[in-house]
C-alpha cells in the first residue's frame, strides 16, 4: 500500500476502509441503534455511565449564564444537566452529526420540558459550523473515537472555544491493569454483542463499538493530540481502572 493509499483510508473497527466509506458506516451504526441507545448504555455499563458523566460535569466548571457545546451529544443526557446549570441566561447547544440521534435527543428533552435555553445543530466535529471564540465549555462524550479526522476535530473545537474555555473529552480508553484488560476484552467481544443482539437486534453495531474502542488512542496519546491542537494544561482522569478516561484541557 502506498502513502497515498494510506492517507485515503482509515479504520472502521478492525476493518480498513476509505474515509468516505467510514462516515457512511458510522452513520448506519447510529441510525440503527438510536432508539435503544439509552437503554443499551444502562445495560452495557451497568448504569455506571451516569457516574462517569456526573464526574465530567463536576470537572467542567460550568456556571450560570455560560454557553456550552455538547458535541456528539446524542440523546442529550449532558445537555439536560447543563441546561439547568447555565439557567435562563445561558445557552446549551446539542450537536450531533447523526440525524437520528439528534432527533431522539430533541424529542427526549422536549418531553422533559427542556426548551428555552437549548438549541439543536446537526454538525460534523471536524468542521464545526460556529463562530470562533463563542463557547465557555465544549464537552464530547463517547464520540471522538467515531470521528475520522480526530486531529482536525480537536482543532475545530479549539477555534470554537473562548480564551479561558475548557474542553472535556469523555471516552473509553485503555485499562491500566492486565487482569482487568483481559476481563474487559472478554466482556466486550463476547457479552456485549449478545446484549446488542437481544435488546437492539443488532450485534454488528455493538461489535463495532468494541473494536472502535481498541483502535482509539490511549490516554497519553490522546493527551498529546490535544496539546498538538493548541490546548494548554491537558490532564486526564482514569475511571473504572482506565476503562474510561476524562481528558480536560484549556484554551489560554
Domain limits, the chain: 48-174+221-250
Banded pLDDT at 40 (limits 50, 70, 90)? confident
Listed range (27-41, 94-108, 126-140) with the worst mean pLDDT: 27-41
Residue 21 vs residue 90, higher pLDDT: 90
Of 164, 141, 149, 214, nearest to 184 by C-alpha is 214
Which whole number is the average pLDDT over 195-202?
86
Residue 109 vs residue 196, higher pLDDT: 109
Does residue 51 surpass a pLDDT of 70? yes
Residues annotated in a binding site: 75, 96, 124-125, 141
Mean pLDDT (the chain, rounded)? 92
| pLDDT for the residue 3 | 47
Banded pLDDT at 38 (limits 50, 70, 90)? confident
Residues annotated in a binding site for S-adenosyl-L-methionine: 75, 96, 124-125, 141
| pLDDT for the residue 28 | 85
Q: Please state the pTM of the whole predicted model.
A: 0.91
What is the spatial distance between Cα 121 and Cα 67, in angstroms, rounded to a whole number? 14
| pLDDT for the residue 33 | 85
| pLDDT for the residue 1 | 46
Write out pLDDT tens, residues 140-171.
999 999 999 999 999 999 999 999 999 999 99
CATH architecture of 48-174+221-250: 3-Layer(aba) Sandwich (3.40)
| pLDDT for the residue 54 | 97
Which of 3-12, 21-30, 109-118, 130-139 reaches the highest mean pLDDT? 130-139
| pLDDT for the residue 72 | 95
Amino acid at each position: 500500500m502506498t502513502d497515498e493509499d494510506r492517507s485515503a483510508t482509515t479504520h472502521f473497527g478492525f476493518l480498513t476502509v476509505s474515509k468516505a466509506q467510514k462516515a457512511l458506516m458510522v452513520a448506519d451504526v447510529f441510525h440503527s441503534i438510536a432508539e435503544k441507545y439509552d437503554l443499551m448504555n444502562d445495560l452495557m455499563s451497568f448504569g455506571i455511565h451516569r457516574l462517569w458523566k456526573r464526574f465530567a460535569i463536576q470537572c467542567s466548571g460550568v456556571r450560570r449564564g455560560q454557553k456550552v457545546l455538547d458535541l456528539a451529544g446524542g440523546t442529550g443526557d449532558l445537555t439536560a444537566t447543563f441546561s439547568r446549570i447555565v439557567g435562563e441566561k445561558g445557552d446549551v447547544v446539542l450537536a450531533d452529526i447523526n440525524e437520528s440521534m439528534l432527533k431522539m435527543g430533541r424529542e427526549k428533552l422536549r418531553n422533559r420540558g427542556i426548551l428555552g435555553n437549548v438549541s439543536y445543530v446537526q454538525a460534523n466535529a471536524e468542521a464545526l459550523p460556529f463562530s470562533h471564540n463563542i463557547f465557555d465549555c465544549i464537552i464530547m462524550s463517547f464520540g471522538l473515537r467515531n470521528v475520522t479526522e480526530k486531529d482536525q476535530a480537536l482543532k475545530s473545537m479549539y477555534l470554537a472555544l473562548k480564551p479561558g474555555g475548557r474542553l472535556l473529552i469523555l471516552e473509553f480508553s485503555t485499562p491500566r491493569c492486565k487482569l482487568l484488560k483481559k476481563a474487559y476484552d472478554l466482556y466486550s467481544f463476547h457479552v456485549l454483542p449478545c446484549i446488542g443482539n437481544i435488546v437492539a437486534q443488532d450485534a454488528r453495531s455493538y461489535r463495532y463499538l468494541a473494536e472502535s474502542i481498541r483502535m482509539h488512542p490511549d490516554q497519553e496519546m490522546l493527551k498529546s493530540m490535544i496539546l498538538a491542537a493548541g490546548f494548554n494544561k491537558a490532564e486526564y482522569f482514569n475511571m473504572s481502572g482506565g476503562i474510561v478516561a476524562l481528558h480536560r484541557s484549556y484554551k489560554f
